Amino acid sequence: MTGAQSTSRTPTLQEVAKAAGVSLATASNALSGKRGVSAELRERVVEAAKLVGYPRGGSARARRTEHVTVGIVLPDVRNPAYAELAHAFEREGQLRDWSLVLASSDYEPAKELEALERLIETTDGVVLSPSRPPRSGIHRLAASPVPIVTCDEPADSALIGASVRTDSFGGGRAAAHHLVDRGGTRFGMIGGAGYLPSTQERREGFLAGLRDRGVADEVVHVVGDVYGMDGGQSAMYELLELDPAVDAVFAVSDMQAVGALFEAQQAGRSVPGDLLLCGYDGIGWTRKISPTITTIRQDWGAIATRAMDYLAGMLAGGEGGRAVLPVELVEGESTRALRAV
Amino acid sequence: MTGAQSTSRTPTLQEVAKAAGVSLATASNALSGKRGVSAELRERVVEAAKLVGYPRGGSARARRTEHVTVGIVLPDVRNPAYAELAHAFEREGQLRDWSLVLASSDYEPAKELEALERLIETTDGVVLSPSRPPRSGIHRLAASPVPIVTCDEPADSALIGASVRTDSFGGGRAAAHHLVDRGGTRFGMIGGAGYLPSTQERREGFLAGLRDRGVADEVVHVVGDVYGMDGGQSAMYELLELDPAVDAVFAVSDMQAVGALFEAQQAGRSVPGDLLLCGYDGIGWTRKISPTITTIRQDWGAIATRAMDYLAGMLAGGEGGRAVLPVELVEGESTRALRAV
């Protein structure tokens, strides 16, 4: 993006920011009238803009930030994790007075590409939560002038301007430590063959966490290649077949954890009395179900804020970035304590 | 809306449709190049448009239908019923090549109004799924030139161009008949004080259905004024306190039914062995949970199609309408059979 900007005759917002001695974000916010900028700072930025000859109202692109429309492509808003993400973006949009255009890929790469192509034509910036590892088609689109931020998954192409994801490896590791510390002795992991990079990282982190605590490979079973509640249910069935004495299970998503809970309960296991269970994502259901489910919480609000900040920066002619946000283990009843044997 | 149109010097799409001898929808689809219109019909409509002097490409408003952006305001996409609605609208938008802008009211009337005001400025048409009974503020907005369709709830103002809802009364009645036919003898209803008109209609329908079958008022308890899973859980607790022998429960939403299920199971009741349970909405969870939950299914796809049809018609200068779509009882395991006593 900056390469294209440098050939422009018009001073960039970057130059305004430099002249005013403020960050790019502050310069952008000041000129577009956003809240959270003091009158004093705003004046300083406006003066700097005059000084460097920055066009009144900003460049054409910057002007568009006055009412920005952002497209978000995600697999399916009916999946609670994506509903959380959509809600967080929509709320973040409200704060900035930006609009959010929703598009679903339904987990189909062709539809995903189609949605991206449409949004690149009709919006100012696009957030993509990929349903599959990034593909060549997406890389092609990434060369478009409309900034793209990937969310949830690493952007393995340098062409994609920005990515925001959370520390999946660290989250998996924290889950392992927690399950060991709560007395787990025989472990199961649900989500073994998940194809998303984030899933793979959660798996690697979990296995690394078990190794940290000296857990032997023989007492660890990894199963399950289907996402969603159904996938969790059948994976728990498989786990209990493989090792009826399994007493600590980590699912790489909360939806799988919910399915696993139902299956365990149907098989006569008490959670957490007979079986500790930890999910991942931090969807609302984990706190509403009985028992409440321990989970590795992603901060949806922080993800949306960072992604929108990247978009704002890129719309103002700046560069994007790569963020890996922290996650947090939130304890529920599902890992409270195994019954003493 | 038509009053404003009638003063226009430009021929309306209605006149084109009349001259071509086709429906307004067909005329609109033919002129905007949508699929599903035969070449022959399209030619006839184009000829008719020339004949009546309809401007090439349609009026300014009609032109905008070539890439229409529709705003949807709903309480919270994290509620699975609204996620179904958002997904249905988004899918319907894909078919028409329309974009969907998402906005949440978070069940706050002030935010709802703010979102509506914003969408009226930035989109071509708005769908509102109200979080509260329509209020005066909304009626004021309804006088705007941007067409508004209310969804889920009746539009009690003649100013609102169109409304699409489902047969809540009939759905409640069907639930009552089903529970009686499956052997229920002591009844509970969850969602008694729900403030949404649709809730009130479901309640009235349920009580009417019980009366149809000669059920005495003494064996019917109506509780619960809180929506969501938590509301269902506490309502079931209350029901079991009021009448420990209750054996058939209707919840006015699936989320409440899910909460009620957990509570009943925790209280040691088998569903459906000790207790029949029927929800309402038809969200995906009802088919994934164990036991699967009998529900009154709303056809989200049909709702979205009808609402978008109304918007298309109004954008083309036509009138909206009022639709009440049918619902369907979908049997799950939760009403399979009471255990013989």
Q: A76 and chain B: CB distance < 8 Å anywhere?
A: yes
- Do A238 and A186 share a structural domain? yes
Domain CATH for A59? 1.10.260.40
Nearest CB to A104 within list B87, B104, B290: B87
**Under 8 Å between Cβ of A141 and A121:** no
Nearest CB to B78 within list A84, A233, A289: A84
With beta carbons under 8 A apart, name residues in chain A contacting B115.
Answer: 94
Domain CATH for A127? 3.40.50.2300
Spatial separation of the C-alpha atoms in residues B310 and A213, rounded to whole Å: 62
- Do A291 and A177 share a structural domain? yes
Q: B115 and chain A: CB distance < 8 Å anywhere?
A: yes
Nearest CB to A288 within list B90, B91, B230: B230
How far CA B17 is from CA of B67, B307, B313, B323, in Å, comes to: 21, 20, 11, 22
Question: Which H helix or E strand runs over B248?
Answer: strand B248-251
Alpha helices in chain A (DSSP H): 2-6, 13-20, 24-31, 39-52, 60-64, 80-96, 109-122, 136-142, 168-181, 197-212, 228-242, 254-266, 285-288, 300-315
In a domain, A314, yes or no: yes
- Do A180 and A153 share a structural domain? no
Looking at residue A148, the DSSP 8-state letter turns out to be E
Spatial separation of the C-alpha atoms in residues B261 and A178, rounded to whole Å: 30
Spatial separation of the C-alpha atoms in residues A330 and A49, rounded to whole Å: 46
Residue owning tokens 């996402």: A227
- Do A116 and A190 share a structural domain? no
**Could you write out the three-class secondary structure of B111-157?**
HHHHHHHHHHHHCCEEEECCCCCCCHHHHHHHCCCCCEEEECCCCCC
- Do B151 and B178 share a structural domain? no
- Do A162 and A173 share a structural domain? no
**Contact between A78 and B284 using a beta-carbon 8 Å cutoff:** yes
Intervals of chain B under pLDDT 50: 1-9, 57-65
Query: Residue B317 — φ and ψ, nearest 5°?
Result: 95, 0
**Under 8 Å between Cβ of A324 and A165:** yes
Q: B299 and chain A: CB distance < 8 Å anywhere?
A: no
Containing structural domain, residue A29: 2-63
Spatial separation of the C-alpha atoms in residues A106 and A126, rounded to whole Å: 17
Of B54, B77, B57, whose CA–CA distance to B65 is shortest? Answer: B57
Q: A268 and chain B: CB distance < 8 Å anywhere?
A: no
Q: CB count, 10 Å around CB of B264?
A: 24
Q: B77 and chain A: CB distance < 8 Å anywhere?
A: yes
**Contact between A91 and B101 using a beta-carbon 8 Å cutoff:** no
Q: B105 and chain A: CB distance < 8 Å anywhere?
A: no
- Enter the ipTM: 0.73
**Contact between B118 and A97 using a beta-carbon 8 Å cutoff:** yes
Spatial separation of the C-alpha atoms in residues A105 and A115, rounded to whole Å: 7
**Under 8 Å between Cβ of A84 and B78:** yes
Partner A, chain B 173-192, Cβ-Cβ below 8 Å: none
**Contact between B99 and A118 using a beta-carbon 8 Å cutoff:** yes
With beta carbons under 8 A apart, name residues in chain A contacting B91.
Answer: 104
Question: Which H helix or E strand runs over B279?
Answer: strand B276-281
With beta carbons under 8 A apart, name residues in chain B contacting A230.
Answer: 288
Alpha helices in A69-167 (DSSP H): 80-96, 109-122, 136-142
With beta carbons under 8 A apart, name residues in chain B contacting A84.
Answer: 78
Q: A252 and chain B: CB distance < 8 Å anywhere?
A: no
Average pLDDT of the residues of chain A: 84
**Contact between A77 and B86 using a beta-carbon 8 Å cutoff:** yes
In a domain, A131, yes or no: yes
With beta carbons under 8 A apart, name residues in chain A contacting B281.
Answer: none
Helix (H, G, I), strand (E, B) or coil at B5: helix
| CA-based nearest distance A83→chain B, Å | 5
Q: What is the DSSP string of A287-300?
A: HHSSS--EEEE--H
The last residue of a domain, from among A20, A40, A63: A63
Spatial separation of the C-alpha atoms in residues A191 and A222, rounded to whole Å: 7
- Do A244 and A123 share a structural domain? no
With beta carbons under 8 A apart, name residues in chain A contacting B229.
Answer: 285, 288
Mutate to test the interface with A, among B76, B87, B255 (most CBs of A within 10 A): B87
Q: A91 and chain B: CB distance < 8 Å anywhere?
A: yes
In a domain, A30, yes or no: yes
Spatial separation of the C-alpha atoms in residues A226 and A293, rounded to whole Å: 20
Nearest CB to A86 within list B77, B119, B233: B77
pLDDT at B281: 95
Spatial separation of the C-alpha atoms in residues B133 and B230, rounded to whole Å: 22
| CA-based nearest distance A211→chain B, Å | 35
Residue owning tokens 């009686």: B180
The last residue of a domain, from among A36, A63, A90: A63
Q: CB count, 10 Å around CB of A327?
A: 24
Spatial separation of the C-alpha atoms in residues B72 and B104, rounded to whole Å: 8
pLDDT at B58: 38
- Do A240 and A161 share a structural domain? no
In a domain, B93, yes or no: yes
In a domain, A225, yes or no: yes
Spatial separation of the C-alpha atoms in residues B94 and A24, rounded to whole Å: 36
In a domain, A310, yes or no: yes
**Contact between A101 and B103 using a beta-carbon 8 Å cutoff:** no
- Do B190 and B141 share a structural domain? no
**Contact between B90 and A67 using a beta-carbon 8 Å cutoff:** no
- Do A145 and A107 share a structural domain? yes
> What amino acid occupies position A238?
E
The last residue of a domain, from among A17, A48, A63: A63
**Contact between B288 and A230 using a beta-carbon 8 Å cutoff:** yes
- Do B243 and B309 share a structural domain? no
Q: What size, in residues, is chain A?
A: 341
**Contact between A284 and B103 using a beta-carbon 8 Å cutoff:** no
| Max CA pair span of chain A | 77
**Contact between A104 and B118 using a beta-carbon 8 Å cutoff:** no
With beta carbons under 8 A apart, name residues in chain A contacting B102.
Answer: 86, 90, 100-102
Nearest CB to B80 within list A71, A78, A123: A78
- Do A153 and A174 share a structural domain? no
Spatial separation of the C-alpha atoms in residues A119 and A18, rounded to whole Å: 32
Q: What size, in residues, is chain B?
A: 341
User: Chain B residue closest to A68 (CA)?
Assistant: B122
| CA-based nearest distance A107→chain B, Å | 13
In a domain, B340, yes or no: no
**Contact between A87 and B94 using a beta-carbon 8 Å cutoff:** no
In chain B, the N- to C-terminal Cα span, in Å, equals 61
Looking at the structure of chain A, the number of domains it has is 3
In a domain, A340, yes or no: no
With beta carbons under 8 A apart, name residues in chain B contacting A100.
Answer: 101-103
**Contact between B102 and A104 using a beta-carbon 8 Å cutoff:** no
pLDDT at A41: 79
**Contact between A266 and B78 using a beta-carbon 8 Å cutoff:** no
Q: A103 and chain B: CB distance < 8 Å anywhere?
A: yes
Task: Tell me: cis bond preceding B75? Omega within 30 of 0 counts.
Answer: no
Of A70, A42, A54, A68, whose CA–CA distance to A8 is shortest? Answer: A54
In this structure, are strands B328-330 and B294-297 parallel, antiparallel, or unpaired?
antiparallel
**Under 8 Å between Cβ of A144 and A160:** no
**Contact between A77 and B67 using a beta-carbon 8 Å cutoff:** no
Helix (H, G, I), strand (E, B) or coil at A251: strand
Helix (H, G, I), strand (E, B) or coil at A323: strand
**Under 8 Å between Cβ of A164 and A227:** no
Give A329's strand partners.
A296
With beta carbons under 8 A apart, name residues in chain A contacting B71.
Answer: 99
pLDDT tens for chain A, 341 residues long, are 333 333 344 566 777 788 888 877 777 767 765 556 677 777 788 788 778 876 554 333 333 345 789 999 999 999 999 999 999 999 999 899 899 999 999 888 888 888 888 888 888 899 998 877 655 566 666 667 788 898 876 655 555 678 999 999 999 999 999 999 999 999 999 986 667 788 889 999 999 999 999 998 889 999 987 888 889 999 999 999 999 999 999 999 999 999 999 899 989 999 999 999 999 999 988 998 889 999 999 999 999 999 999 999 998 888 888 899 999 999 999 999 888 75
